[in-house]
Structure formats: C-alpha cells, structure tokens
C-alpha cells in the first residue's frame, strides 16, 4: 500500500465470519476501583503534575486534564545533545539520551465514561487538547516527532481502565514514520498525486462527514482496521481547527460505536499518523495525516515479526460492508 509500502496476505483459508471475531472477554479485566482511581475527579493530588486542563479556569468541574505520565518512558529533565554519545557507535548502531515528553490525556472526569460515550463536541475537545499540547511541544527545537495514541483494554496495553490517551514527544523521527513519509513521496513522484487524497473507493468506504471519511484501507494489516482521513490535504494533525475537530469527533465516535456494537467492545488502539515537526518542504504535497484504529482481534506471530508481512483473514471489502451495516443489524 502506498502509505506504508507493506505487503499483506489475505488468506481465504483462514477466512472467518465477522461474528467469529467478536471479543470474548472484558476489555478491562483488571478494572480499577473507581474509589481508588487517581484519574477520577477529586483524586487530582494523586497524579503526576498537571500541564493544563479544560476549561482552563475550572476547578472540580474540569472536563479534560493533561498531565505528566507518572511512569514516563522519557525524561523531560535531561539535556538532549545535538550529537550521538561517544558510546553509541558499537556495531554501527546509534544511541541518544532518553530526553523527551510523555503525557497522559484524561478524557473525562467520570470513571465509567469512555471516549465513545462523549458527544461529538466533547470528543472534539479531546482532539483539540492533543493539538494544544503538540503546539506546546513543537516549541522545543530538539523534539522531532509527536505520537498521539490511545490504548483501550488491558490486552491493548492499557494499565488504567479510566478513559485516557497518551502523547509522546521524541527527539528522533522513528524509522516507521520515515518509511511512511518516503513511501508517500514515492507515490507522489510516480503519479503527481497524494496517495490519501486519492482514497474514495465505494467498497472500502464506511462513512463520511463534511471534512473526513472513514475507510478500511486497501491493504488492511489487521482485521476491521479503520482509517479516518481528512478529505482536504493536510500534512500535520496540529493544523486541525475547532470546526474540523467537532466534525472529526463525530466520525471518530461513530467508528468506535460501530466497532463496539459489531465486535463486542474489543480492546483497541488508535494512533494519529502525522508528519515530523520539521518536515522537508518537498514532502508537504505528498504527506497526509490520518487516524488509524486497530481492534485487537488476532495475535501477531513469528511470521509477521520475522517478515513485516501480515496475514489478514478478512478482506477489506467485507470488513467495510460489515461496519457500514452495523446499525441496520442492531436496528
């Protein structure tokens, strides 16, 4: 596929009915006790330092809080060098200090309320909180890439059942990001067109809004994988404005509800794939951000890890059809 340059095997021998993929277990089997949850309103003092909240002047009536991650994978206190350390050249490898930022976005003050339970405007506010934090982080010259992601369910990597997402700001551009940007550029050089601006096959379309469309990608890596793509060309997620955030919030909520109804509220991850903060001007016409949702329905084995080639037992056209028809099925 032009955005990832990755092969996917669609195996009819492994094909299963959509009902076979329904999640069989609670996505949060180790749900935290609400009375002991540090993310709940009234427990703010138990969390790592707050960065900001929404509304900014709120007290106990806050809607969203952005805080430092208490168990940060990166250290915001380190001085990041502009060159690799002397001990970094073993076997041609390179190492840099663990400088960076690792934050948590608490999406609701109420424990049982998940992102899909919020209104489109409220989901839009969460998206705008991402944008606000990215705008703060990109003032640091040493930050090269910001990854926004959400883990829902223990098997998807969530350690807390209270609805939240995370933001990590890195001093390097990850190799997978560089490969995605280069693959998009190659497609543009060959066709003169942006690969994601060309998306629009009816059999892969799930739904659309004024500014966004949701699809199952042509070479979906995972069963029932969903991409939400701006219908307008945009290189960076942080270019999102308030009106488009509400529009995106509505479509994101719809996709999460559809996925929950059809697949029995599976554990899932979503990631915002955007451009590096200091993108090369020559890559702007070809680079297009999107949001990827991956329900955790099948494991990754040695073949996938060894080859980078994935086996998907559900054809994209079938997955899109199932997701389009969810509300007809549930009536």
Is 111 annotated in a binding site? The answer is yes
| Euclidean distance between CA atoms 231 and 34, whole angstroms | 40
| Euclidean distance between CA atoms 201 and 268, whole angstroms | 25
Is 197 annotated in a binding site? The answer is no
The three-state secondary structure class of 285 is coil
Range list of H helices, the chain: 120-137, 175-191, 242-263, 302-307, 316-324, 326-330
| Euclidean distance between CA atoms 53 and 314, whole angstroms | 41
Among 102, 152, 164, 273, the one annotated catalytic: 164
**Cα-atom radius of gyration of the chain, to the nearest Å?**
20
The two beta strands, 310-312 and 8-10, are: parallel
* Closest alpha carbon to 64 in 249, 226, 234: 249
> In the numeric block, which tokens belong to residue 144?
């090269």
Q: 236, 274 in Cβ contact below 8 A?
A: yes
Is 194 annotated in a binding site? The answer is no
| Euclidean distance between CA atoms 200 and 214, whole angstroms | 10
For residue 299, the Cα-to-chain-centroid distance in whole angstroms is 19
Q: Respond yes or no: is residue 164 known to be catalytic.
A: yes
> In the numeric block, which tokens belong to residue 251?
């479509």
Q: How many CA atoms lie within 13 A of 80 on its CB side?
A: 19
Phi, psi of 252 (to 5 degrees): -65, -45
The three-state secondary structure class of 330 is helix
Is 162 annotated in a binding site? The answer is yes
Question: What positions carry a catalytic annotation?
Answer: 164
Give the annotated binding-site residues for Zn(2+): 37, 40, 111, 162
């Amino acid at each position: 596929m032009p955005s990832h340059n990755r092969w996917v095997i669609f195996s009819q021998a492994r094909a299963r009915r959509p009902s076979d993929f329904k999640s069989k277990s609670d996505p949060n089997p180790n749900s935290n006790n609400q009375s002991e949850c540090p993310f709940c309103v009234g427990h703010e003092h138990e969390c790592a330092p707050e960065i900001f909240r929404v509304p900014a002047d709120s007290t106990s009536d806050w809607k969203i809080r952005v805080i430092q991650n208490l168990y940060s994978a990166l250290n915001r206190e380190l001085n990041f060098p502009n060159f690799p350390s002397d001990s970094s050249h073993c076997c041609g490898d390179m190492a840099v200090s663990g400088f960076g930022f690792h934050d948590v976005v608490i999406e609701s003050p109420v424990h049982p309320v998940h992102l899909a339970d919020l209104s489109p405007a409220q989901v839009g506010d969460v998206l705008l909180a991402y944008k606000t934090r990215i705008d703060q982080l990109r003032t640091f010259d040493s930050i090269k890439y910001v990854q926004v992601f959400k883990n829902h369910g223990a098997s998807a990597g969530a350690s807390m059942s209270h609805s939240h997402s995370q933001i990590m700001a890195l001093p390097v551009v990850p190799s997978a990001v560089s490969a995605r940007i280069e693959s998009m550029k190659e497609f543009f050089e060959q066709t003169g067109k942006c690969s994601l601006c060309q998306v629009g096959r009816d059999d892969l379309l799930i739904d659309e809004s004024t500014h966004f469309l949701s699809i199952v990608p042509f070479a979906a890596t995972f069963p029932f994988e969903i991409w939400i793509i701006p219908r307008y060309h945009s290189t960076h997620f942080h270019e999102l404005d308030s009106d488009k955030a509400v529009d995106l919030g509505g479509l994101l909520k719809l996709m999460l509800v559809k996925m929950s109804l059809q697949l029995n509220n599976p554990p899932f991850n979503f990631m915002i794939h955007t451009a590096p903060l200091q993108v090369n001007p020559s890559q702007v016409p070809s680079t297009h951000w999107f949001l990827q949702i991956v329900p955790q329905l099948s494991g990754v084995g040695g073949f996938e890890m060894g080859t980078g080639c994935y086996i998907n037992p559900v054809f994209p056209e079938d997955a899109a059809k199932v997701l389009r028809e969810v509300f007809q099925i549930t009536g």
